[in-house]
Structure 1
Amino acid sequence: MKKIMIIDDDNKNIFALSATLKAKGYATVSATSAAEGIQQLKEKEEIGIVLMDMMMPEMDGYEALRVIRNEEQIKELPVIAVTAQAMKGDREKCIAAGADNYIAKPVDVDALLALVEKYLK
């Protein structure tokens, strides 16, 4: 089964998402910066989906999505935007930036698992 890449600058978020996903039988890998995450995506073919925090220092999720969508070997990878921005229009902004889907923090575990299953099949 493909692994789930979690890109988030907050280790607590990575820990919580990893623990939740591992409890459901998924394997995860993580990165605490978008640049590090993109580098891992290029190196690790076993990654099947990305959970991307949108608000990170240096390179945010929007910029990271542009990079991913322009990299031939990883441009088709499903990316779910995970963000605390849950205002009207934020979902559309994430999708327009290249995300395949969107989930707001605090994360609804059932909704997240449904999305992961949808894209990993």
Structure 2
Amino acid sequence: MPQKVILIIDDDNRNIFALKAVLKAKGYECLSAISAKDGFSIIEERADISVVLMDMMMPEMDGYQAMATMKKSLKMQNIPVLAVTAQAMVGDKERCLSAGAAGYVSKPINVDELLEQIEEVTK
């Protein structure tokens, strides 16, 4: 079975480092970008991205804007996005899902929940 490729878009390198460590240990290939724009460049170069883990709170372009941009792009519109956010307020999950996220994980990340969602959206 080919390895699933996960693109992590997060403006905090510590989050990227922690997620990569966990996901690589589970057998995923991980790519990362510290901005949505950098993430889009990676998607342009790689046709094999299975899922994007998108931090919702980033400078320049936040996760909501990034998902809106992806939905308009033929190359990116079918890549599932899991919203990753420290904002776990009432309504945040619904807001992420209605913005186009395929799933939602709040920080600090529950690894089992994250892995379940990755498997779910990449079936």
TM-score, normalized by the shorter chain, greater than 0.5: yes
Task: Give the alignment partner of residue 17 of structure 1, picking from 16, 19, 33.
Answer: 19
Superposed counterparts of 1:15-94, under 5 Å: 15-94=17-96
Work out the CA distance in 2 between the residues paired with 1:38 and 1:96: 21
* Structure 1 runs (4+) greater than 2 angstroms displaced: none
- Deviation sequence 1:59-94 (CA, Å, 0-9, x none): 000000000011011101100000001000000110
- When normalised by structure 1's length, the TM-score is 0.97
Are the counterparts in 1 of residues 102 and 121 from structure 2 also a CA contact under 8 Å?
no
User: What is the SS of the residue equivalent to 1:73?
Assistant: coil
Are the counterparts in 1 of residues 68 and 100 from structure 2 also a CA contact under 8 Å?
yes
Task: Give the alignment partner of residue 106 of structure 1, picking from 87, 105, 108.
Answer: 108
- Deviation sequence 1:12-68 (CA, Å, 0-9, x none): 000000000001111100000011101211221111100000000000000000000
Work out the CA distance in 1 between the residues paired with 2:45 and 2:121: 20
User: What is the SS of the residue equivalent to 2:50?
Assistant: strand
Q: Which runs of 5+ in 1 are unaligned?
A: none
User: What is the SS of the residue equivalent to 1:14?
Assistant: helix
Identical-residue share of aligned pairs (%): 55
Work out the CA distance in 2 between the residues paired with 1:71 and 1:40: 14
User: What is the SS of the residue equivalent to 2:32?
Assistant: strand
Code of the residue aligned with 2:10 in structure 1: it is D
User: What is the SS of the residue equivalent to 1:4?
Assistant: strand
- Aligned pair count reads 121
Work out the CA distance in 1 between the residues paired with 2:44 and 2:98: 23
Are the counterparts in 1 of residues 67 and 99 from structure 2 also a CA contact under 8 Å?
yes
Code of the residue aligned with 2:121 in structure 1: it is Y
Work out the CA distance in 2 between the residues paired with 1:79 and 1:42: 16
What is the RMSD of the two structures over their aligned residues, measured on CA atoms?
0.8
Q: Which runs of 5+ in 2 are unaligned?
A: none
